[in-house]
Structure 1
Amino acid sequence: MSDKQKRQVVKLHKSFLEEIEACKVLERQGQQGFSSLVNIAERLPHVMSEKGTKYGVLDSMDNVRVLLQQRHFESLEKTSTYIAQVIQGFFDRVENMQRAMSTCADVLDQLPVVDQHLFVVELMEWMENVLTMYEREAGRKKGLGQHLEYWNVSDLQARQARWLSSSVHGHIKADYVAMVVDAVTAASST
């Protein structure tokens, strides 16, 4: 393996790891989005209620209930749009992982099969497995973000509980992903 090929594989692998980290950030953002959505949806019945609801100092404002309802619905729409953007960002990151994987496979195809290239083959196998996990996870997240019903708080709470890939419903095996990520982090810090 030439130095140029080694550098290319290392660069592609680094790019792949950066996409994994970006997906983790997007997961946290999506979790925050679902948390906001649940909080707003839980308050909505109180705001919609016409039974002697007291708003404290806001009672002196004209049409306070209508304004609060409008504000809550705007927040629901804004938050669900945010969740859709997070999901799209997750898909974009997975596409970037696919491109890095494809380019790395092209480099591997140019190498003769010898023992010294075994590490690259094992790295490619790891990347393929991780990519498959993230592809499946992206599809699962897309399903969680579809057909959100604001009035069904228990459904929103269930979706929030299933959002993270570390949930029992997730497709990403964190210990398998961390196996190489931790090794690369340790190697780069020395």
Structure 2
Amino acid sequence: MERIKKERGRGVERERRNRKEHKTMCRKDVAWMFQQWDGNNDGELSIKELIPLETDLNEKCLKAYIDRCDTEPGNDNVITLDEWCDCFAWADNDRHEPPCHAAKHQQDPHLLGTFHPRCTLEGYYKAEQCHENFCWCVDKYGREFDNSRVMGGLPDCGQYATEMDENEKEELMAEL
């Protein structure tokens, strides 16, 4: 009995940590569905956990749709809570889908050299975008500002838009 309480406690602690780190707005019904499929409660859906969804004969298109949810490079073969929430945020209303969110889901994230746009929680482009050692400034619709592209560093996008905080700067510099 004590072991079960300990395991439950660890699961609750892990769930609390995952919620704290969650960066994407998530509808309650979408988050609930993620929890139903996350059998080991680790905040990620593995291939094993997705098999029942992806092999449902009544939902033939679901596998292709779910495969496109895995948009973050580096964590192939798992879908995080952020990816799941982001993927289903506009599932029922794609006509009003924000531009960065739409661009992120129109490409195969697993192809080498693919540009992965940085989006705000609302689905618009963040001011600083980077790809293959180049960074540049864009407006919220993804339009690049003239003469803002730099190599090996971050541009000063504050002159065009709001500046990013120190954590965002560190994350971007780590990607370069």
Shorter chain as denominator, the TM-score bin is under 0.3
Name the structure with the higher helix share. Answer: 1
TM-score, normalised via structure 2 length: 0.25
Greater CA radius of gyration, 1 or 2?
1
